[in-house]
A = this chain, B = another copy of it.
């Protein structure tokens, strides 16, 4: 089944304790599609400036990603510059230049207007709502958001919640949105406002999937060296939605498997700068990592006393 993602296509400059990268591929839609395209057909809607090295996205096209919904506008591309300190847990933003992204008005091409799955990556909730009006109702609509929109677009975000099936957000954003310090209480707060499922991402501490009164937990894959955390969340979302779309099954049991695929894709993303590792990872490596997730949490039934 096909997935439509609407989000940013950017150029990142990143400094970590292990090295530097300048003007490398970045943005939520880029990470999402680099991840999801291992599992299903992905169509992208976004905007870049006429300085964007679109040729560098060709490896995605080869994997079947349809980039024809990326509009090229006059002006500079969205650029982000950030730095991670030794703990790698939080990025310090050094510069943000929105460029043409500041006037982004997503236009979903006719060929993309009946997606099976829709991921509204982290953009202005007003634009996320606008995209929803341009498409035939998908099998599943998921969205992401961030602290900036929670502060500045709270009413729009609450309206959006009424129209999505699932939201992914990190623990800090969940607490900020709901004003609940406990994550179970936060998830209940959100589910009472629309989404049937809530995924709360805790970075190196894993992710929760909440569905009604059931909780699933997947750890982060324990990596001995995390190289660059940028894009981990969007790569997670790409693995999660991509897995659901591959099977077309949105049962809670299948969502659990999808969270593990999301965690696996997130763990690959952080092994190199940008989408480098997502470009080279193979199906066999993905399947092997999913098996390792099972080993990581497996414990046998107790023997009878």
A residues adjacent to B (C-beta < 8 A): 86-87, 181-185, 202, 205-206, 208, 214-219, 222-226, 247, 253, 256-257, 259-260, 290, 294-300, 302-303
Contact = CB atoms under 8 A, between A and B. Distances in A.
Nearest to A300: B253
Contacts of A223: 182, 184
How many identical chains are in the complex? 2
A257 B300 contact: yes
A176 to B, nearest CB: 13
A247 B297 CA distance: 21
Contacts of A302: 257, 290
A222 B183 contact: yes
Nearest to A175: B87
Contacts of A297: 216-218, 297
Contacts of A86: 181
Contacts of A182: 223-226
A97 to B, nearest CB: 31
A185 B215 CA distance: 30
Nearest to A298: B256
B215 A299 contact: no
A226 B181 CA distance: 11
Nearest to A224: B184
Given A87-B181, A182-B225, 5 more contacts: A206-B206, A217-B297, A256-B299, A257-B299, A257-B300
A265 to B, nearest CB: 15
17 contacts: A182-B224, A182-B226, A184-B222, A184-B223, A184-B224, A202-B205, A216-B296, A217-B222, A218-B297, A256-B299, A256-B300, A257-B299, A257-B302, A259-B299, A290-B302, A294-B299, A297-B297
Closest 6 CB pairs of A and B: A205-B205, A256-B299, A297-B297, A184-B224, A217-B219, A217-B296
